[in-house]
Structure 1
Amino acid sequence: MTHTYVAYIDESGDDGLGKYREPGGRGGASPWLVISACIFRATHQLDAVTWRDEISSRMPEKKSRTLHFKDLSHGQKVVAAQVIGNKPLRTVSILAAKRPIPDGIYTQKNQLYFYLTRYLIERISWLCRDMRPRAPEGDGRVKITFSRRGGMSYEDFRAYLTRLQGASSDDVRIHWPVIDISAVDAQDHSKLASLQIADAVASSFAAAVEPDIYGNCETRYSELLRGVTYNHKGKFLSYGLKSVPTLDRCLLSAEQQKIFDMFG
């Protein structure tokens, strides 16, 4: 049988630790890493191209339909979030503050990325489980596609998920019946409209916590996505929006706190 759901994953920021970039400065690692998923029923896969093109059509000055959220102006970003926020999809985002991470914990390549993505996969699995009564088609599973990132082995990530599946720890709360590990793959951002939408989601939430060159954060984009952010009985935090570490340890400024208050 075919998959019931599809999930597209992209990130904003990097997984470098130490020597963090300061507002107005050049170089350095991003203080935050945001990893987001855009999830919808597999029957909407072709519709995702139309959604992307709807955004592009609102920007006649753009020469390409391909969306790179970071290259858009503030007004264009608002339009992109407005369009996405009215589509039949759901989003999940993991917002990781890297400054509080102690030295010497994530020393292996992609270790932090794998760890954070585990939380994302958990929430994707809960969403697919919860929505199954409304989506009877297919086999109930989700096909997961990453935006390809340099230096990342997706074979290693599939092996990582397999190890988690075999673990007996109560700390792993993935609902495995809906996760098709063998179907996890990666595609280039430019080739799939769905990945471009996932990029817009990740970048929207990153803008709310990652200061720009002037030291300011922007919550407008993520606010427009509230209606499509996964929630459980009206609760967004720990479902469609999760901080790592816990909020009390994220060293949030008053401006960064706004996004969590908005979804709290």
Structure 2
Amino acid sequence: MSLLHAFIDESGQRARGKKASAHFIMAAVIVADEDLTHAKELLARLRLDLRRRPGDHLSWKNLKPHGQRLHVAKTLASQPWLTVSTVVVCKQHLTGEPLNEDQSYLYTLRFLLERLSWIARDRRRILHYTMAHIQRFKIAKLREYEENLRKKPDTSIEWGHLNPRGGRMDQPQNFELLQLGDLAASACGSAFNVDGFGNTERRYLQELSPCLYRRGSGPACLTSYGLKMHPRYETTKAAYPWVATL
């Protein structure tokens, strides 16, 4: 069975707290095995467009001008071989006891793995996923969580379409395709988390919208798939009415 690859990164802080971001976003850029060369060429072209050196690490936080960020979002969206799936955790709408950083990260990953496995199932492929390494998080925690998820009857993960060895972790500066995950996650994060002046910027996500994973028709074809909102209460929907216009 042919392969898909998902390159995963996040935006915002994982845990809840007064100084933490109001949203935690995890995003995956999905590329078919036969399009990996296109993905590398895309990064090379972006470096050229942005006047970076060949091989430079492309990080959203280092792209300060609005025009550069807009160009990145538009360029990603224009690639017919590229799909993006994101999970947006709206922490202000969560109830119950707060999870710690690792629990928050892994619970968000569960939602994302569901969607990645559905994409792979629909395309009749096996998906391998690589995650950007985060501080104080060891691969053993990921393996333990993956094993526990496999035993849970209430998940919707299509395990037969995910790499049976589990995900791997690496640094974006070492494994360049993870930089795609950083760019997608941060473009989405800009629409939800305020900057230093209290502003958000939806334009990047709006431009990225064409490559977001959609399935079926109606409003939920996006908000249940390519832009999974959690939790999805009526209050949450009312707080982000613009999402339905993407």
The answer to whether TM tops 0.5 is yes
Higher share of residues assigned helix: 2
- Once the 2 structures are TM-superposed, how far is the Cα of residue 213 of structure 1 from its aligned partner? 2.0
Of 92, 96, 107, the residue aligned with 2:89 is 96
Q: Which residue in 2 is equivalent to 1:135? A: none
CA distance in 2, matches of 1:209, 1:199: 15
Q: Which residue in 2 is equivalent to 1:15? A: 14
Of 233, 243, 262, the residue aligned with 2:216 is 233
Q: Which residue in 1 is equivalent to 2:143? A: 158
CA distance in 2, matches of 1:257, 1:150: 34
CA RMSD of aligned residues (A): 1.9
- Once the 2 structures are TM-superposed, how far is the Cα of residue 251 of structure 1 from its aligned partner? 8.3
Amino acid at match of 2:6: A
- Once the 2 structures are TM-superposed, how far is the Cα of residue 200 of structure 1 from its aligned partner? 0.6
Q: Is the 8 A contact 2:15 2:99 kept in 1?
A: no
Misfit runs of 4+, over 3 Å: 249-253
The 5 Å alignment of 1:30-179 reads 30-60=21-51, 62-63=52-53, 65-72=56-63, 73-87=65-79, 88-102=81-95, 104-107=97-100, 109-132=101-124, 140-169=125-154, 172-179=155-162
Structure 1, unmatched stretches of 5+, are 20-27, 133-139
1:202 maps onto 2:193 in alignment = no
Q: Is the 8 A contact 2:11 2:26 kept in 1?
A: yes
- Once the 2 structures are TM-superposed, how far is the Cα of residue 248 of structure 1 from its aligned partner? 2.6
Q: Is the 8 A contact 1:36 1:94 kept in 2?
A: yes
Q: Is the 8 A contact 2:146 2:166 kept in 1?
A: no
CA distance in 2, matches of 1:251, 1:44: 36
Give per-residue Cα distances to partners, 1:81-120, cap 9 Å, x unaligned.
111111211110001111233463414x500110011000
- Inter-CA distance 252–188: structure 2 relative to 1 (3 Å threshold): farther
Q: Which residue in 2 is equivalent to 1:215? A: 198
- Inter-CA distance 225–257: structure 2 relative to 1 (3 Å threshold): same
Moved more, 239-248 or 194-203: 239-248
Amino acid at match of 1:12: S
Structure 2, unmatched stretches of 5+, are none
CA distance in 2, matches of 1:59, 1:112: 34
CA distance in 2, matches of 1:222, 1:157: 29
- Once the 2 structures are TM-superposed, how far is the Cα of residue 183 of structure 1 from its aligned partner? 4.1
Give per-residue Cα distances to partners, 1:168-223, cap 9 Å, x unaligned.
23xx1001110114141111011223211111100111111112222221111111
- Once the 2 structures are TM-superposed, how far is the Cα of residue 130 of structure 1 from its aligned partner? 1.0
Q: Is the 8 A contact 1:69 1:77 kept in 2?
A: yes
CA distance in 2, matches of 1:247, 1:225: 25
Q: Is the 8 A contact 1:54 1:83 kept in 2?
A: no
Moved more, 203-212 or 155-164: 155-164
